[in-house]
Copies of this chain bind each other. A is one copy, B any other.
Amino acid sequence: MGDDCAVLRPTDKPRVWTVDSAIAGVHFSRDFMSLDHIAQRAFAAAASDVAAMGGRAVAALSALTLPCTFTDDELTELVTGLARASDRFACPIVGGNLARGSELSLTTTVLGECPVRVLTRSGAQLGDGVFVTGTVGGAALGLRALSAQRGQEAVFLPAIEQFLTPAARLDVALEVAGLASAAIDVSDGLLQDLEHLCRASRLGARIEAALLPLLAGFVDAAEGLQLDPFALALEGGEDYQLLFTAPRELVPAGLATWIGSVVAESEGVRVFERAGTERATGRGFDHFRG
């Protein structure tokens, strides 16, 4: 408990498995997302937990709760999205469950294996660098552009793409496992997930906002929606990139971006802006807020 996956040891390789639920009205809205995308996102969110443990996906189970009014065509579209994600992450869906309920939900269980090593949140070392793969904030911006009904504007398309068909960094997870001291996936927001990692490692971190990797045109696009781009990048969730700590010299430039350093626990988790002033930060996604 406490890491993104549970580890099952009595096999030739350590295996990890995880479960994640996506629920209508909480994790997604059908108002501006197709069932295909809803399914792809639900699958990616679960697969991402396996990547965060340094694993590769072995297989998945998909438990669907469908409203009575759900049509065969809707089910076909949902299953198409699951199949696409399953193909993309090379993770066959080998079983599942269908049940009736008042709201649509998708619960995905993924089993993975860790041929290199099992990566947890708790191994960060004082002086390690903090790294993140890909870019951050894109999914949050894409979601906000869609909910503002501005999804057709070209400036938002890369962010919308990241929101609708998120990565799950299984493609780099084994490489990260070979060099990282601790890792987590960015699901609740970079800052909140970094806090989880730091708490598990009993250390702090100092992040430089100017180093955060952003999509091209991200700042302008965010400001076009009257949003603070750094709030999106730090607190927006569901990027499903890997956030990890490692000795700085071990991490090749193409793998991830250096965004800060591991410091003493007493210093907490803090973000500094370009001028060196500390940034007041909000919070990421709280599952039980509101």
Contact = CB atoms under 8 A, between A and B. Distances in A.
A99 B105 CA distance: 11
A288 B65 CA distance: 11
Contacts of A99: 21, 23, 26-27, 287
A79 interface: no
Contacts of A61: 6, 17-19, 109
Given A61-B6, A111-B8, A68 B288 contact: yes
A18 B111 CA distance: 12
What does DSSP make chain A's interface, helix, strand, loop or mixed? strand
**Nearest 9 CB-CB pairings of A with B:** A6-B95, A6-B94, A19-B61, A109-B109, A23-B101, A107-B107, A21-B99, A19-B63, A11-B11
A179 to B, nearest CB: 25
Given A11-B11, A288-B68, A97 B21 contact: yes
A64 B119 CA distance: 25
Interface in A126-184: none
Given A17-B95, A21-B63, 16 more contacts: A1-B95, A5-B95, A6-B95, A8-B59, A8-B94, A11-B11, A17-B61, A17-B111, A19-B97, A21-B99, A21-B101, A21-B107, A26-B99, A61-B109, A98-B287, A99-B287
A61 to B, nearest CB: 4
Interface string A3-29: 001101001100001111101011100
A96 B20 CA distance: 8
A290 B100 CA distance: 10
A240 to B, nearest CB: 15
A220 interface: no
Number of this chain's copies in the complex: 2
A103 interface: yes
A226 interface: no
A interface, size bucket: 35 or more
A58 interface: yes
A23 B65 contact: yes
A266 interface: no
A277 interface: no
10 contacts: A18-B95, A19-B19, A19-B61, A19-B97, A20-B63, A21-B97, A21-B101, A23-B101, A98-B288, A109-B109
Nearest to A113: B10
Contacts of A26: 99-101
Interface string A276-290: 000000000001101
Contact of A105 (B1, B6, B105, B287): B105
Contacts of A107: 19, 21, 63, 97, 107
Nearest to A11: B11
Contacts of A111: 8, 17, 111
